[in-house]
């Protein structure tokens, strides 16, 4: 870990300004990912701006009938929130499928959206990695790629986004609210928040330098049956091999987003029209153009089977 300076701020605007004025500065909230990366010198911020004291820790209804989740709401609290459990069950289930109780107690809503890939080559600083060191190459391609992406990846990077929460947010069409150093605010659709790697896999989100997430907003409840089905090698405390966030309506229409298969939560709205036709049809359109490796080709059929399990569970509940 490189020596760094540290300050605490008391408002979102102050936080954004503090990061903007110090080169190499980063926000820190729960620190459940950033600190690990700093110890390995994968992240080497010169300055940390601690945003734990800026509020943004409330879950409130919006005038549109949705829900506004403060950036600093902890994953544990978000998962346990009565409104979330009642109206956005897929989000609660996704959160509880991730990490451990201890980590969820620390991890924040905004931080969860910004966690970085768990590609093992990204974590080993002896190995080339375009995400960690742009232009150095991708050692995962041709290496151990079982946990990695089958779609949305590029010749520069085949990493996956590890978040469960983000997959549910993608299914729910959440929006991300931010503030920038000059005080301007904007909203970013979750679909546009995580960007594909292309030739620049070190750029992972639409955020600008110093831009701070202040909240995540959910539109009004969709109804339907909410399921988050996470497939993993062990029963808990493991990243998804494949996960499916499903919000399915009684008539069979609905939404499906995937985790564990792409550099960002993977959703293809056009494919959802095929939901009444069953998993095979949806899966084929969701994964059209997939480029799996020999190690992870099984994920293609696993996606189909997991969607099948989700649809079967919906039927079972109906």
Partner 1 sequence: MKFDTPAGTNPIDQMKVVGKPVDRIDGKLKTTGTAPYAYERHDVVKNAAYGYIVGSAIAKGRINSMNVVDAKSAPGVLAVITALDGPKLGKGNSNTANLFGGPDVEHYHQAIALVVAETFEQARAAAHLIRVDYTRTDGKYDLAVQAKSAPLKGDGSDEGSGAPPVHRVGDFEAAFAAAPVQIDQTYTTPDETHAMMEPHATIARWDGDKLTLWTSNQMIDWSRRDVAKILGIPKDNVRLVSPYIGGGFGGKLFVRADAALAAVGAKAVGRPVKVTLQRALIMNNTTHRPATIQRVRIGTDRSGKITAIAHESTSGNLPNGDLETAVSQTRLLYAGANRLVSMRLALLDLPEGNAMRAPGEAPGMMALEVAMDEAAEKLGMDPIEFRVRNDTQEDPEKPGRRFSHRNLTECLRRGADMFGWDKRMAKPGQRRDGRWLVGMGMAAGFRNNIVTKSAARVSIDAKGVVTVRTDMTDIGTGSYTIIAQTAAEVMGVPLEQVVVLLGDSDFPVAAGSGGQWGANNSTAGVYAACMKLRAAIVQKLGYDQARAEFTNGTVRAGNRSVSLGEAVGQAGLTVEDGIEYGDLDKQYQQSTFAGHFVEAGVDAATGEVRLRRMLAVCSAGRILNPKSARSQVIGAMTMGAGAALMEEAVVDKRFGFFVNHDLASYEVPVHADIPHQDVIFLDETDDKSSPMKAKGVGELGICGVGAAIANAIYNATGVRVREYPITLDKYLDRLPQVV
Residues at the interface with partner 1 (CB under 8 A): 1-3, 39-41, 118, 120-121, 123-124, 126-127, 139, 142-144, 146-147, 229, 231-239, 241-242, 278-280, 296, 298, 301-302, 304-309, 312
Nearer to partner 1, 81 or 304 (CB): 304
Secondary structure (3-state) at 272: helix
Q: Do the strands 47-50 and 175-179 form a parallel or antiparallel pair, or are they unpaired?
A: unpaired
Task: Answer yes or no: are the C-beta atoms of 190 and 169 closer than 8 Å.
Answer: yes
Work out how close the CB of 159 gets to partner 1 at its nearest, in angstroms, rounded to a whole number.
13
Work out how close the CB of 248 gets to partner 1 at its nearest, in angstroms, rounded to a whole number.
15
Alpha helices in the chain (DSSP H): 12-21, 34-39, 75-80, 82-87, 89-96, 101-106, 109-114, 120-123, 165-172, 190-193, 279-286, 298-317
Nearer to partner 1, 270 or 294 (CB): 294
Task: Answer yes or no: are the C-beta atoms of 242 and 231 closer than 8 Å.
Answer: yes
Work out how close the CB of 83 gets to partner 1 at its nearest, in angstroms, rounded to a whole number.
28
Residue given tokens 């947010």 in the structure block: 169
Q: How many CB atoms lie within 10 A of CB 190?
A: 24
Work out how close the CB of 152 gets to partner 1 at its nearest, in angstroms, rounded to a whole number.
20
Task: Answer yes or no: are the C-beta atoms of 178 and 185 closer than 8 Å.
Answer: yes
Nearer to partner 1, 162 or 197 (CB): 162
Nearer to partner 1, 91 or 302 (CB): 302
Work out how close the CB of 180 gets to partner 1 at its nearest, in angstroms, rounded to a whole number.
32
Nearer to partner 1, 85 or 232 (CB): 232
């Amino acid at each position: 870990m490189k020596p760094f300076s540290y300050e605490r701020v008391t408002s979102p605007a102050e936080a954004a300004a503090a990061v903007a004025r110090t080169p190499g500065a980063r926000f820190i909230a729960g620190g459940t990912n950033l600190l690990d990366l700093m110890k390995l010198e994968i992240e080497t911020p010169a300055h940390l701006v601690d945003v734990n004291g800026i509020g943004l820790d409330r879950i409130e209804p919006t005038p549109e009938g949705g829900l506004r989740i403060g950036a600093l709401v902890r994953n544990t609290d978000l998962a346990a929130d009565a409104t979330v459990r009642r109206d956005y069950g897929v989000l609660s289930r996704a959160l509880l499928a991730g990490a451990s109780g201890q980590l969820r107690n620390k991890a924040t809503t905004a931080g969860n959206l910004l966690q970085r890939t768990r590609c093992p080559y990204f974590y080993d600083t002896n190995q080339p990695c375009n995400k960690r060191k742009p232009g150095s190459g991708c050692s995962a391609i041709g290496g151990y790629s079982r946990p990695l992406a089958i779609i949305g990846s590029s010749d520069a990077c085949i990493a996956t986004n590890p978040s469960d929460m983000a997959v549910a947010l993608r299914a729910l069409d959440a929006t991300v609210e931010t503030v920038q150093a000059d005080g301007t605010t904007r909203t970013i659709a979750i679909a546009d928040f995580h960007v594909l790697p292309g030739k620049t896999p070190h750029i992972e989100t639409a955020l600008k330098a110093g831009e701070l997430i202040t909240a995540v907003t959910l539109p009004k409840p969709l109804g339907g049956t909410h399921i988050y089905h996470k497939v993993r090698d062990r029963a808990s405390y493991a990243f998804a091999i494949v996960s499916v966030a499903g919000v399915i309506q009684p008539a069979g229409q609905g939404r499906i987003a995937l985790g564990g298969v792409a550099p960002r939560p993977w959703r293809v709205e056009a494919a959802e029209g095929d939901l009444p036709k069953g998993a095979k049809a949806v899966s084929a359109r969701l994964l059209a153009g997939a480029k799996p490796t020999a190690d992870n080709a099984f994920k293609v059929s696993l996606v189909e089977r997991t969607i099948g399990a989700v649809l079967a569970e919906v039927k079972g509940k109906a």
